[in-house]
Structure formats: C-alpha cells, structure tokens
Chain A
Amino acid sequence: MWSLLQIELYKISKRPRTYIAFIAIAGIVLIIQAAFKADPGYLNILLQNVGDTFEVDKGKVINGYFMCYMILNTLLIQVPILVALVAGDAISGEANMGTLRLLLTKPISRAKIIGVKFFASIIYTVALLVFMAILALFLSMAIFGTNDLLVFRAKDTESQILQIMQDDVMWRYLAAFAYAAVALTVIAALALFLSVFAENSIGPIVATVCIVIVCTIISNLNIPIIDKNVRPWLFTSYLVGWKGFFYIAIDADNVPIKGSMENWPAIRNSLLILLAHIGVLFGGAVWFFKRKDILT
C-alpha cells in the first residue's frame, strides 16, 4: 500500500498541472500581502463608521493573523478548483492517456488503486493547505508581526467585530486548517467520483467546479425557503465552516471568552456532514470503479 502511494505521489509530482495550484496560491497570497503593505486602506471598508466613533490603531489591526484571515477568506473559495485539478484527473487522466488499462492489468485490486489515488489526492490537498499556511500565516506573521485578531463578521441583522487575543489565535488556525482539509477532501472525493465516469480529465474538473459554483450560489441566495429546505443539504454550505473557530463566544458582559467558540456543536455537525459526504462520494467512486468496464 505504501509503495503504491509513493508511486501515486511520484506521478502527481511529475505532472506540471500539480504546480499550477501552488503557483496560483503563492501569487494570490503575495499580491494580497503586497497590497496591504502598500495601502492598508481596505481596512476602512471593514471598519466602516467604527473609525468615527473609536480610535483604532490600524497598524496593530493589520497584523499577520489578520492577514491570514483575510487571505483564507479570499482563497479558500477558490481552492476547490485547484483540488479538482488533481483529483478530477486521478482516474480520467489515466483513462485518457491509456495507462488505466495497463494499470488495471496489474495484480492490484481496483478498490486499492482508487483508494490510493484518493489518499494521494488528500495528501495533495493537505500539502496545498500547508503551503498556504506557510505563506498566508507564517510569512504574514514575519511581514506584519502579530497582535490580536479582529474578525469582521457579517450577520443577518448586524455585523460584528470580534477581537481574539493574540495568544488565543494559533490553535484556531490549526483547527481551521484541519477543518479546511476535511472540507476540501469533500471536493477531492467529488472530483474523484466524477473522474471514474470520464475518459478525459477536463470533464470531471469542469463538472466539479460547476457543482461547487452552483451549490455555493444556492447556499448564498438568502432566500428563506431555500435556506430552510435546500441549504442544509448542500455541502458547500459547510465549506466556510472553518470560520466557526474564529467566532469566539462572549460572556454576559459582551466580553469574548478566551479559548471559546460560539457554536462548537454547529462546527462539529458540519464536520460530520462533510465526513458523510466524503464517505458517500468515495464509497460511490469505489463501487462504480470496481464495476467499470475499461474500454479505452
């Protein structure tokens, strides 16, 4: 199993498309960092009229933790596309190249082959996130320093500014990245599932991206009947759940409680829903792949 995984990772590492995602992430992160370094004006949009009432040291607000939050907020919506690039190619790419039939004439069960491919996609996803963490979190910390984290949160009737003490931030990022890994694994499972049926990789990649986009739009429509009946069933509603780790709970005096989360059960349920999606999609991929006639 381990040597199969090594082989799979080696193949992924040798494909140029693998690096598109890393280059894209580095590009976006560096541009955002450079922009904030040059002009912190975006903060005024977030602060709105708060600046009229309060004196806030903007230099302190724009720190490494804040930058990472900003970057994740922007980037994690795009990363599914990058994950789909590799996971959507896993089976269909081999079918397209003609190597799938060679691969499957080796004495290895199909379940094992697709399992290894899925595992390799997860490793790729985690590698993307680690890369993102290095650039968006650690590089930002090096460039912008550290301080308390302000989280600007739009809620239905009012918006909020949550302040998380600097020594209460890091674990939240670790948890958020772990959550993001689970969320993106759903995308990987979806792309892999679609990949089983296709004979070139464009189809499943585009289909995955379309599904994510359509579901995201539906998730964000804010139409009550959809919010109530459809939204809970869409995995995209849970992709941004990592933010839940930054929604700090507050006490009766409106003061944030260190080390707390406003709604851990909601995050836990989201995680369970995402894991269920992974189970169903991957299970489906294995089921169909085992029965697939290889005609290419």
Chain B
Amino acid sequence: MNVMLQVNDLSKNFNDFQAVKNLSFTVNQGDVYGFLGQNGAGKSTTLRMLLKLIKPTSGEIIFSGTNIIGDDNAMLKQTGAIIERPDVYKYLSAYDNLYIFAKMSGIKTTRKLIMDQLEMVGLADRFDSKAKTYSQGMKQRLGIAIALVHSPKLIILDEPTNGLDPQGIADMRNLILRLSREMGKTVIVSSHLLSEIELVANRMIIIHKGEKIVEGDVATLLDPADTVVEINTTDNETAFLQLQQTQWKERTTKTTKNIRVRTNKNDVPQIINMLSGVGINLLAVQPRHSLEDYFLSLTNNDTHVEPFTN
C-alpha cells in the first residue's frame, strides 16, 4: 500500500487554545479516509492545515514523500477540496466559476472541458445562470465540479453533507464511492456522524479535543463482534432479570432508561426471540457498535444542556 499522506505530530495553537495536539495519521493511496469527530474536535483545523489555509504550529505534513509545510504547493496542485459550504462567486455563472478555478489550478482550460465537467454534475443546462440563483444542492454540485476540474489525486471533503437534504446526502455518498472505486481517487472525508463514515470509508480516525482517539481500518474498528445492544421494553425490570438467566448475564447492564447488552451483532435475533418468548413486549432494540457507543459517550460528556427526560 502506497502512503500518500503522512501527518506527524501536527499541532495548532490559537493563542492559548490548542485546537490540534500532536496529531499523527496516515492516508494511503486509494483510501476513503474518514475523519470523525464531534463539532469543534479539530477536524476542520486539521483539514485546513493540509490545504495550507491554516499554518501549523508544529509538525509535519508529508505528501508523496515531501514535507509540504513551507511554501511548496505540490500538494495543492494534486488536491481538490470542498471546505464546509461550497461557496462560489455568486455574481458569476457556473461556467465562469468553474473556468476561473480551473485556470487557477494551472490547467489548460477549454470550453469543452468546462462543459463536460458541468455535464458530469448535471449543471450543463444552467451553465450561464448566476450562482446566486442556484439551490444549495446545485451549489454543492458546482463545488464538486470545481474540486474535480483539475483531476486531482486527492480530494478533501470537509463535512460535505452539512446542510443537504436526505437525497443530497445519498448523492454525496454515491459520489464519494464513485470517486474512489471508479476514478481511483484518494478521498479524505470528515463528518461528525459515524454512520456516514461507516458507509463510505475504508479507513478512519476519530479525534476528540484535537487529539487522536483511534485510527485504523473501518472493518477492524467496527467489528460486529463488538456490539452494544440497547433494549427498551414495557417492563425493563423483568427483561433485565430474564437476561440475567442467560449466557449474556455477565455482559448485561441496566440504566434508568434501558438495558444494554454487549455482544456480537449476530446474536441480536436470538435475544429478541428469547425476550418475546417469555412474554416481554419490546419497544426498541438498537444494536450499536461499541466504537460508536464510545464516540457517543464522548459527545454526551460534553453536553452542556441536560437531556430532556420524562
């Protein structure tokens, strides 16, 4: 596996606030690399450091064997990006926007190239309308066209599904998979939702408060053998007692809201059958990977507003 991007001990301080702390990770060629963290975890700061929008306080960013910190633009030449919102020049048409950024990427631009690219993202029929007349989804597609127009090897998408409707989110997911599988691009995608990362990424990192929590293959990290099942019934007390009689006895805990069982994901039907068999009415059964559970616990610990309970 060829290493495309190697980040070593990357840190960023904003005055007294340390946004990123000694972060290290590796992105291989062809990866869809998930960048997971709650809002404010340091995802955007890290991705912006990769894109030279933010100057690192310390650390190394090695792209194709060269440390790009300094004034080397080698990485930017081979990178396309959408950072948060796909902002474009609203007073210019899609064609003009794409033309301008293509030119700035240093490629030879022809009308055909621009129109083909617009065709690909489904904006060819509106190529001459000003971007301010576009819907959020259209702007997003224009942003993608801009990110891809110079055929970059690496594509960085920072929270690309923010503000999109469910269809837009699905489209974005498909696009990422196409970029990776059909076009052989390396993609770094950030999100605050594990479910999103899980669906597209083959490798991932979780960061929290600027620090790496875990990094690895999604398949390994999200191994189904390590699942937490949350069970809610009409009578949690009885259900808990029933579970105490079974093989899951040691791995069952009870909270004020529900019962939690740590087990293999494949065991879930068996648990449901057992509880139903003793006449317990199930309200909800939610299997969740322990990593997600852990990730959620991080989020919950930082919640400042008490959850509403009745």
Contacts and interface: CB of A to CB of B under 8 A. Distances in A.
Interface of A: 3-4, 7, 10-11, 14-16, 97-99, 101-109, 291, 293-295
Interface stretch (B29-37, B50-58, B111-119, B194-202): B50-58
Interface in B69-103: 71, 73-74, 76-77, 79, 81, 83-85, 87-92, 96, 100-101, 103
A101 to B, nearest CB: 5
Given A102-B146, A293-B53, A108 B89 contact: no
A102 B48 contact: no
Given A7-B103, A11-B89, A106-B101, A101 B53 contact: yes
Given A293-B55, A294-B48, A107 B89 contact: no
B279 interface: no
Q: Name the residue among A7, A11, A106, A295 with the largest chain B CB count within 10 angstroms.
A: A106
B87 A105 contact: no
A102 B83 contact: yes
Interface string B135-170: 000000000001000000000000000000000000
A7 B104 contact: yes
Contacts of B103: 3-4, 7
B104 A108 contact: yes
A156 to B, nearest CB: 50
B87 A11 contact: no
Contacts of B38: none
B51 A105 contact: yes
A261 to B, nearest CB: 45
Given A105-B79, A294-B53, A97 B106 contact: no
Contacts of B85: 98
Nearest to A104: B53
A107 B146 contact: no
Interface string B54-66: 1100000000000
A107 B73 contact: yes
Contacts of A295: 48, 54
B87 A99 contact: yes
B54 A106 contact: no
A292 to B, nearest CB: 8
B152 to A, nearest CB: 10
A7 B100 contact: yes
B73 A11 contact: no
27 contacts: A3-B103, A7-B103, A14-B89, A15-B91, A97-B87, A97-B89, A98-B84, A98-B87, A99-B88, A99-B89, A101-B48, A103-B104, A104-B51, A105-B51, A105-B52, A105-B53, A105-B81, A106-B106, A107-B105, A107-B106, A108-B104, A108-B106, A109-B73, A291-B55, A293-B54, A294-B48, A295-B54
Q: Name the residue among B14, B52, B91, B100 with the largest chain A CB count within 10 angstroms.
A: B100
Contacts of B77: 107
A102 B87 contact: yes
A229 B287 CA distance: 78
A275 B52 CA distance: 32
A85 to B, nearest CB: 15
Nearest to B48: A294
Interface string B191-233: 0000000000000000000000000000000000000000000
B73 A294 contact: no
Contacts of B54: 293-295
Contacts of A3: 103
A113 to B, nearest CB: 9
A104 B87 contact: no
| Top 9 A-B pairs, shortest CB-CB distance | A98-B87, A107-B73, A294-B53, A107-B76, A106-B104, A107-B77, A293-B54, A105-B51, A105-B81
